[in-house]
Amino acid sequence: MAKQTIIPFGPQHPVLPEPIHLDLVLEDEKVVQAIPSIGFIHRGLEKLVEKKEYTELMYVTERICGICAFGHNWGYCHAIEILLNVEVPERAEYLRVMWHEMSRVHSHLLWLGLLADAFGFESLFMHCWRLREGILDLFEKTTGGRVIFSVNKIGGVHRDVSPEMLLEISTVIAGMKKEYDELAKVFIEDVSVKNRTVGVGKVSKEDAAALCAVGPTARGSGVPFDIRSTGHSIYGKLGFEPIVEEGGDCYARALVRVKEVYQSMEMIQKIIAEMPEGEISVNVKGKPEGEFMARVEQPRGESCYYVKGNGTKNLERMRVRTPTNINVPFLVSALAGCELADVPVIVLSIDPCISCTER
Amino acid sequence: MFTDFNLKVIEPTELVDTARTLKAEGYRMVQICATRIPDAYELTYSFDKDLELHHYRVILPEGKEIQSITDSYFAAFVYENEIKDLFGINITHIALDFQGGFFVTNEPTPWKDSK
């Protein structure tokens, strides 16, 4: 057996804006094992159910993460709505899905930029993030916030979007799509992108399924799992089909996200075209009793929101299981056998969100 | 969207065999959640098949240990270590056991004596 060396990777590393640590066991330049450590900034948000009322937790859940804040809020909201037997107005469901898919576009553009940055393609990184700003501007115009929106409420949404604003969103998305065509072409065809991603961090379909991976991470290995396939909210009306790639490497995971940006843009246009008239919220009475687990397909994958109510204003338990939580075992598998130089790209390829994980 | 909470309560001794059976039947493990209840812990194991959730619950008396399901679902090590670190529940035979050091906490097992 060759001599083994252990190299610590993180918790502070140029490709990681947030802390995760890996002990990389190397034989020469090859990684034979990766042992993860998380929990450097665990916030214990779930514990706040003892002090905060279930309505106040709305503001806590959207602070789990600064990228997919809307989805966390929506998932929690949906779980409470089930316990209170609340039927959300159709227009509110359309608005929720529109904002959620806009969140996916901005999250994937952010990730594509980070991937480009990880292998030194600085101009591509800047273009991705420049394009992303357009989505953040739309968030600001429609919700008042660029990161935290506070637009959901139990029973619907706080804000409506005017027909003029819907037209503006449609126009901005259409213009953005033209610019995105050029960026997508680079991610799909450029030789320097392929050199750093094709065949790197490969995980088979069987292994990805066995490791319970979720999101574009799983779909990049051919596992067609996507919570939107249940047709919940209005996804059934939108004719949603998951995007799947079979490669199982970093390139396949990138391709899934590149194509999902197009898919989300199309869904947003369809939502705007079919937006029904009507109320955006209903009055909610009562205190949550019973238990339920809601699931939302966040940009990084399936997120779970378990709530247990006892008929009082305080829940007995709230549990959030985020996509990065469950994709850590996949990452460990993807790193085994790779070259040391590929570690940053592989780590990024699961789109790790430690803020979510350290809820 | 599914609106039911499909729950089955099982004995702690049935857990490992239940996980093996579910794995063989093609279920995906979704999460494990620990909840503090008087003199015991409620451990809820969630599995998914065909986009439908099924939950299995174990009531574990305080001070008792429970075996890991990582021989069926390796990914469970993430939740089992988290539960060990935060609630102080002794979960044995975890495939990747951080011995209480997975999470950095100011005090050991901060959620053990909740409420």
Asked if the C-beta of B17 comes within 8 angstroms of chain A's C-beta atoms, the answer is: no
- Asked whether the beta carbons of residue A306 and residue B44 sit closer than 8 angstroms, the reply is yes
Cα separation of B55 and B43, whole Å?
10
Chain A within 8 Å of B20 (Cβ-Cβ)? Answer: no
**Mean pLDDT of the residues in chain A:** 92
Taking the Cβ of residue B105 and every Cβ of chain A, the question of whether any pair is shorter than 8 Å is answered with yes
Subunit contact B53:A293, Cβ cutoff 8 A: yes
* Cβ atoms < 10 Å from Cβ of A207: 18
Sign of the dihedral through C-alpha A12, A13, A18, A21 = negative
Domain extent at residue A208: 52-326
Statement: the pTM of the whole predicted model exceeds 0.95 = no
Q: What is the pLDDT of residues A123-174, one digit of tens each?
A: 999 999 999 999 999 999 999 999 999 899 999 999 999 999 999 999 999 9
The reply to whether residue B31 touches residue A319, judged by beta carbons under 8 angstroms, is yes
Neighbours of B10 (CB within 10 A): 14
Residue B114 has pLDDT above 80, yes or no: no
CB contact under 8 A, A295 and B53: yes
Establish how many alpha carbons lie within 13 A of residue B61's alpha carbon, considering only the half-sphere containing its beta carbon. 3
Phi/psi of residue A72, nearest 5 degrees: -60, -45
Q: Is the sign of the CA dihedral A96, A133, A170, A235 positive or negative?
A: negative
Predicted local confidence at residue A282, as pLDDT: 95
**Residues from chain B contacting residue A210 (CB–CB below 8 Å):** 74
The answer on pLDDT for A262 being more than 90 is: yes
Q: How far is B102 from chain A (nearest CA, A)?
A: 6
What CATH number does residue A226 fall under?
1.10.645.10
Q: Chain A residues with CB inside 8 Å of B73's CB? A: 212
Residues A281 and A179 sit within 8 Å (Cβ to Cβ): no
Q: Looking at this predicted complex, what is its ipTM?
A: 0.92
pLDDT single digits (tens) A17-39: 778 888 999 998 999 999 888 87
Closest residue on chain B to A227 (Cα) = B51
Interchain contact, B110 vs A44, CB within 8 Å: yes
Instruction: Tokens for A194, please give them.
Output: 């392929």
Any idea which architecture B7-92 has in CATH?
A: 2-Layer Sandwich (3.30)
Give the residue among A21, A48, A42, A40 at the shortest CA–CA distance from A315: A48
Q: Is A224 on the interface with B (CB under 8 A)?
A: no
Structural domain includes residue A43: no
Nearest to A48 by CA among A34, A37, A63, A32: A63
Is residue A16's pLDDT more than 90? no
Task: Check residues A274 and A325 and name the one with the higher pLDDT.
Answer: A274
Q: A298 φ, ψ to 5°?
A: -75, 170
Total count of domains within chain A: 1
Among B46, B77, B115, the residue with its CB nearest the CB of A293 is: B46
Whether pLDDT at B2 is above 80 = no
Task: List the single residue in B with minimal CA-CA distance to A84.
Answer: B3
The DSSP code for B6 is -
Average pLDDT over residues A76-101: 96
Cβ contact A350:A252 at 8 Å: no
* CB atoms near residue A304 (< 10 Å): 25
| Closest residue, chain B, to A358 (C-alpha) | B103
Per-residue pLDDT tens over the stretch B23-73? 999 999 999 999 999 999 999 999 999 999 999 999 999 989 999 999 999
- Which residues in chain A (33-72) have CB-CB distances under 8 A to chain B? 35, 37-40, 42, 44, 47, 50
Scan for tokens 């790779």, then name that residue.
Answer: A338
pLDDT of res. A48: 79
C-alpha angle with apex A62: A57 to A301, nearest 5 degrees?
A: 120
Q: Is residue A17 part of a domain?
A: no
Residue A334 forms part of a structural domain = no
Residue A326 sits at the chain B interface (C-beta within 8 Å): yes
Residues of A in contact with B103 (CB under 8 A): 38-39, 42
Residue in A42, A44, A329 closest to B75 by CB: A329
